[in-house]
Structure 1
Amino acid sequence: MIKKIAINQVRRGMYVHAMRGSWIKNPFWAPSFALDSQEIVHKLLASGVKELWIDLEKGLDVAEAESPVPPLPAPAPAAPPAPFRFENVQATSMAEELQHAARLVRQSKQAVSSMFDDARMGRLQNFGSIMPLVEDLASSVLRNPGALVSLLRLKQADDYTYLHSVAVSAMMVALGKQIGLADAELRECGLAGLLHDIGKMAIPLDILNKPGRLTDVEFGKVKGHPMAGYDMLAGTGNVPPMVLDVCLHHHEKFNGSGYPHGLKGEEISLYARMGAICDVYDAITSNRPYKAGWCPAESLRRMADWSKEGHFDPQLFGAFVKCIGIFPVGTLVKLKSGRLAVVVDNSKSLLQPLVRVFYSTKSRTYLPPLTLDLATAGALDSITGREDQEQWGLQDLDRYWLDAA
């Protein structure tokens, strides 16, 4: 049985199953270990970890453990850690970042495909080789959050299994930046996003790639992927605890109705709550063999309803909306002038983005495409609301923001 406890409940004789906290600062490189000496207990207390899970089949419970460990003396102030290179990232325009993002998508697909194939064959070993990719993805997102995330939304249905993980990685970094996580934590978020769905490699391919609705039995097998992924990653002995946590708990819901453990509220770690939001957003905006993806604006509207029902942490979802934008890239909007436009870039202004005007609602005719920066004083136009492309009989709107960028 796995049990969650606070750090001040730690005692000698327990067996640590997993920990919550920054693996960059974590002195324990194994994801699980026995607290078989006071030295290890003191080391854990000094690590900065706030919460952890213990395995009651391998060690003692809180009530059975030895008397409390005397508190440690206050440590001397630590020297500031060496900064990650993210700190020096400079913002770029959508047009500049799209070229770099396109290269990253190709590299990421190959790397994640290879890693997932290793997982399916039981050959997972060391993840050090993908850390440069994680840093490249994070750097791209920090330069311009919209470029990589928007490009990944256009993935082909056949690429979904691999590029979904890349998209979640990118969005977790963007959301982490929005809520003020440190650079080291952003790096963790990127790795967690890449690995969160690796357990799907334990699902039979005929179920994983099924083009229609799953049966109850098939869905039951799919619901086993968080635990399967956790076991795969924990078995390597070198995966950070936070990454294990996101892999195991990214399908938990804030109201306790999720799986596999039915955790509720802050029982779910911040990172897993982030992963849940990013996972759902990419899933519903992506084209699948059995369903076309919703546009970004419609996806946010649906997720807002689900958040009210208790699926997501409401404050964290609010931060996600600010991160993605009130009018995400690719959103069809109506302007005060009666023209329709597609959002091209919202990195400088969420409410007054760069748009591509292309249609007149008054004459119901296409216009010569025109790029318009609504944030400039001379724009003389503004967004009045989102529009449904199906109501106007419009298709392939993504070409407008791609051409403009």
Structure 2
Amino acid sequence: MLKKITVDQVRVGMHLHALDGPWMDHPFWKTRFVIRDPADLAKLRASGVAGVWIDISKGLDVAPEASAGAVAPAPLAPPVAAPPPAPPAAARAAAPAMPPAPSHTLQEELKQAAALCRQAHAQVKSMFSEARLGRAADAEQCLPLVNDIADSVFRNPGALVSLARLKTQDDYTYLHSVAVCALMITLGRELGLSADACREVGLAGLMHDLGKAAMPLDVLNKPGKLTDDEYTLMKTHPLRGYELLVEGRGAPGAALDVCLNHHERIDGTGYPSGLPPERISQFARMGAVCDVYDAITSDRPYKMGWDPAASIAAMATWKGHFDPAVFKAFVKGVGIYPVGSLVKLQSGRLAVVLEQNPQSLAAPRVKIFFSTKSNMPVSVQVLDLARATDKIVSREDPKVWGFPQLDELWAGEMAPKRG
């Protein structure tokens, strides 16, 4: 049976199942083992890890005199009896005035991001396939991939996030996990998380939908509206994912929390537990925003994705869904007009957004290609709206205009072939 305890309650002879702090902070190369050496116990207590999960069927329980202070045993069910764990110290750092400037331009990072998308797709698909076969999820195997995704986001946050949005219906389940990982890291930077904490929330994003591996494929990929029974079944995927992570190894507390609670809402109407806002952690609030944004901007079996700028505008009106402060930071990270958005300028020209200007969210760099006055293409021109007299007057629906080459205009040859 699993039990969550504080680090000061750990003693030699306990079987550690998972560590509740940032995985980059803990001093061990593995997270499931029996503590046999007092030196290992000392290293654990000095590491800054806040708490651990122990398996009392494989090792000692808390000492009798400490039992009164132990956290209640954690069944494989929504932990609705206790508030979510506090974010680790690294995640509570004061937010900087602004994240570091990108070290690469979007175009410089796109090629690496495209290769990383292909690698990540294959690895996530394999992870889901293993889960469907009943094999426990191994979070530690995902750490190198999360490191690579974080490095790409740190170099330029728009490249991987935007490419992962251009997924086919067949690729949605796998690349959605990759996109949410990158979005969580982007959001973490805006919220002032340390690099290590950003990687931790990235791992949580990568594994947040693992429970969908336990859903019937005919329901998961159904092209039409789900029946009430099918929807009820799909709403169990957070709990199924939580169970898979607990049964596996190496998943930190943030991953367990986000997997279980990314569909909770701050108005208490979410699932699986309908948690009140004071019991929804910051990490779960981050996961809710990132999950919804990628879901509504992506093509899925039953609907086409929305334009990214229209998606941001729509999400801003959904009262009770998201934490306002977290959503505000998210918009700062991806932009009011995210990369790939179609916009109309005051001059009557249409342009696609290339890159954000952190100092002015309403004035991104754009690529102009069409005139609404002549209803004709114009010579392609890249314009930094922060340094120009022209400005955005409206977002436009690409489907209305019917520009099949829109993705290629900002992503070039890195744009995946869809259709």
TM over 0.5: yes
* Letter in structure 2 aligned against 1:402: A
Q: 1:44 and 1:93, CA in 2 relative to 1: closer, same or farther beyond 3 A? A: closer
Q: Where do residues 259-338 of structure 1 align in structure 2 (5 Å cutoff)?
A: 259-306=271-318, 309-338=319-348
Q: 1:115 and 1:367, CA in 2 relative to 1: closer, same or farther beyond 3 A? A: same
Which among 365, 368, 391 is matched to residue 357 of structure 1? Answer: 368
2:353–2:367 Cα contact (<8 Å) kept = yes
SS at match of 1:66: helix
Task: Kindly indicate whether residue 169 of structure 2 is the aligned counterpart of residue 167 of structure 1.
Answer: no
Structure 1 equivalent of residue 68 of structure 2? 66
Structure 2 equivalent of residue 156 of structure 1? 168
Structure 2 equivalent of residue 384 of structure 1? 393
Task: Kindly indicate whether residue 224 of structure 2 is the aligned counterpart of residue 215 of structure 1.
Answer: no
1:18–1:54 Cα contact (<8 Å) kept = yes
Q: Where do residues 91-170 of structure 1 align in structure 2 (5 Å cutoff)?
A: 91-124=103-136, 126-170=138-182
Structure 2 equivalent of residue 238 of structure 1? 250
SS at match of 1:352: coil
SS at match of 1:251: coil
Task: Kindly indicate whether residue 379 of structure 2 is the aligned counterpart of residue 368 of structure 1.
Answer: yes
Q: Deviations over 1:235-272 (max 9, x none)?
A: 12432121111111111111111111111223111111
2: CA distance, partners of 1:144 / 1:25? 25
1: CA distance, partners of 2:123 / 2:134? 17
Q: 1:132 and 1:53, CA in 2 relative to 1: closer, same or farther beyond 3 A? A: closer
Bigger shift: residues 124-133 or 388-397 = 388-397
Structure 2 equivalent of residue 37 of structure 1? none
Instruction: Tell me the matched-pair count.
Output: 376
Q: 1:66 and 1:382, CA in 2 relative to 1: closer, same or farther beyond 3 A? A: closer
Q: Where do residues 193-232 of structure 1 align in structure 2 (5 Å cutoff)?
A: 193-232=205-244
2:169–2:300 Cα contact (<8 Å) kept = yes
CA deviation after TM superposition for structure 1 residue 173, in Å: 0.3
Query: Runs of 5+ in structure 2 lacking a partner?
Result: 35-39, 56-60, 71-98, 415-419
Task: Kindly indicate whether residue 412 of structure 2 is the aligned counterpart of residue 403 of structure 1.
Answer: yes
CA deviation after TM superposition for structure 1 residue 313, in Å: 0.5
* Letter in structure 1 aligned against 2:281: S
1:115–1:124 Cα contact (<8 Å) kept = no
1:31–1:237 Cα contact (<8 Å) kept = yes
Q: 1:31 and 1:215, CA in 2 relative to 1: closer, same or farther beyond 3 A? A: farther
CA deviation after TM superposition for structure 1 residue 52, in Å: 9.1
Which among 262, 265, 268 is matched to residue 250 of structure 1? Answer: 262
1:253–1:263 Cα contact (<8 Å) kept = yes
* Letter in structure 1 aligned against 2:396: E
1:145–1:347 Cα contact (<8 Å) kept = no
1:199–1:225 Cα contact (<8 Å) kept = yes
2: CA distance, partners of 1:402 / 1:44? 46
2: CA distance, partners of 1:404 / 1:327? 22
2: CA distance, partners of 1:254 / 1:17? 31
* Letter in structure 2 aligned against 1:266: E
Q: 1:53 and 1:255, CA in 2 relative to 1: closer, same or farther beyond 3 A? A: farther
Which among 346, 354, 379 is matched to residue 344 of structure 1? Answer: 354
Percent of aligned pairs with the same residue? Answer: 53
| TM-score under structure 1 length normalisation | 0.80
Q: Deviations over 1:145-196 (max 9, x none)?
A: 1111111111111000100000000000000011110111111111111111
Bigger shift: residues 119-128 or 18-27 = 18-27
CA deviation after TM superposition for structure 1 residue 389, in Å: 3.4
2:177–2:207 Cα contact (<8 Å) kept = yes
SS at match of 1:157: coil
Query: Runs of 5+ in structure 1 lacking a partner?
Result: 34-39, 69-86
1: CA distance, partners of 2:249 / 2:413? 47
2:367–2:380 Cα contact (<8 Å) kept = yes
Bigger shift: residues 23-32 or 183-192 = 23-32
CA deviation after TM superposition for structure 1 residue 393, in Å: 5.1
2: CA distance, partners of 1:243 / 1:393? 40
2: CA distance, partners of 1:32 / 1:277? 35
Greater relative contact order (CA < 8 Å, ≥ 6 in sequence):
2
* Letter in structure 1 aligned against 2:320: G
CA deviation after TM superposition for structure 1 residue 327, in Å: 1.4
Q: 1:142 and 1:363, CA in 2 relative to 1: closer, same or farther beyond 3 A? A: same
* Letter in structure 1 aligned against 2:353: V
Bigger shift: residues 19-28 or 40-49 = 40-49
| TM-score under structure 2 length normalisation | 0.78
Structure 2 equivalent of residue 22 of structure 1? 22
Bigger shift: residues 234-243 or 174-183 = 234-243
